[in-house]
Amino acid sequence: MLRALFDLDLRLVRLFLAVADAGGVTIAQAKLNISQPTISTQLSTLETRLGYRLCERGRSGFRLTEQGERFRALCRTLLTTVDEFSAAARNMDKALAGTLKIGLVDHTPISQNARISDAIALFRQRDEAVHFSISVKSPAELEQDLLSGAIEIAIGYFGQRVPALDYTPLFNECQLAYCGHGHPLFGRAGKLEPAEVTDFDWAWRSYPLPEAKLPATSGRVTAQADNMDAVLLLVLSGCHLGYLPEHFAAPYVAQGLLAALNPQQLGYEVTFLMVTQKQTKRRPIVDAFVEDLKQAHQVIGSDRPASSLRGQVEQ
């Protein structure tokens, strides 16, 4: 039974977290560059020290036990604390130090990515020694990562509001309904009425978007996807209609591969949000970047160019 923190090798904690996040020993093997028998042995060693089973592994597959799920959350907290300690120890002369973990949805508009980039530039002018860690995932994955502590800031569209999180609107994105070149409606695209598209198959999102209104019964949704590239493939097939961000579809429209069904009637705007833990639970480096992100969107949203923001942060 584990009696003190020094009895718990941090290498075993990192190994367990890698296996848990990968969803199994086999998948984690390549990332860890360790043989499967060694991984299994080290997991068993960790379980022996803890005194309980962390995961079920074998021919029936891999799954975390209830204790394993709770221990994974503790591992994240421990490793974040260790990383913060290491960064603070190396950078005692800096006001902000540590790792800032950010998550984004795929295919954010280029203009909005420029604003995020400008927020990073603002942040880098602070008295800081911060390591950025940025991941791109689906909205559902980002929300789960926020709740588990795997990331601290997410930027994307989210169909529900979790009480434990803060949501701040940043900008709107236009989404239009499209068909592919091989679709029967392609030749008449542009001025199609909603009633004319209800009897065709649609590709839809696997995550909720309250702004989206499907002009068809649920029975006509014959494909679902959790990311924009997958929806695009379904629409390009000529077999499905689907909504795509206007900026994302533009190159394919220019090539004659896609056409908007009716930009005036078959479109909607989705609000991109910045999502964080409640302010009382946030670290100073998160609060600092949130401030810079808000400033970037507020100022760049006016007629001033993005570059005009640089040099405005006081040291």
Return d(Cα 57, Cα 54) in angstroms, integer.
10
Closest CA to 291 of 130, 168, 171, 172: 168
Return the CATH class of domain 5-77.
mainly alpha
Tokens 């206007």: give the residue: 246
What CA–CA distance (Å, rounded) separates 152 from 147? 9
Q: Judge if 83-171+271-309 and 173-269 fold alike in CATH terms.
A: yes
pTM value?
0.61
CB 64 within 8 A of CB 25: no
| pLDDT by 10s per residue, the chain, length 315 | 555 555 568 889 999 999 998 888 888 888 888 898 999 999 999 999 899 999 998 777 889 999 999 999 889 888 878 877 776 677 666 678 788 999 998 777 666 778 889 999 999 999 888 889 999 888 888 888 988 888 999 998 887 788 889 998 888 888 999 999 999 999 999 989 988 998 899 998 877 665 566 655 555 889 988 788 899 999 999 999 999 999 999 999 999 999 999 999 999 888 888 999 887 778 889 999 999 998 888 743 433 343 444 344 333
Q: What integer pLDDT is reported at residue 157 of this predicted model?
A: 83
CATH code of the domain occupying 173-269: 3.40.190.290
Question: Which residues, listed in sequence order, are joined to residue 99 by a DSSP beta bridge?
Answer: 131
- For residue range 118-177, list pLDDT tens digits in order: 999 999 999 888 889 999 888 888 888 988 888 999 998 887 788 889 998 888 888 999
The domain segmentation of the chain, as residue ranges, is: 5-77, 83-171+271-309, 173-269
Which of 164, 143, 163 minimizes the C-alpha distance to 154?
A: 143
CATH topology of domain 83-171+271-309: D-Maltodextrin-Binding Protein; domain 2 (3.40.190)
The predicted structure's pLDDT at residue 61: 84
The token pair at 63 is 């799954």
**Could you give the CA distance from residue 169 to residue 178 in angstroms, rounded to a whole number?**
26
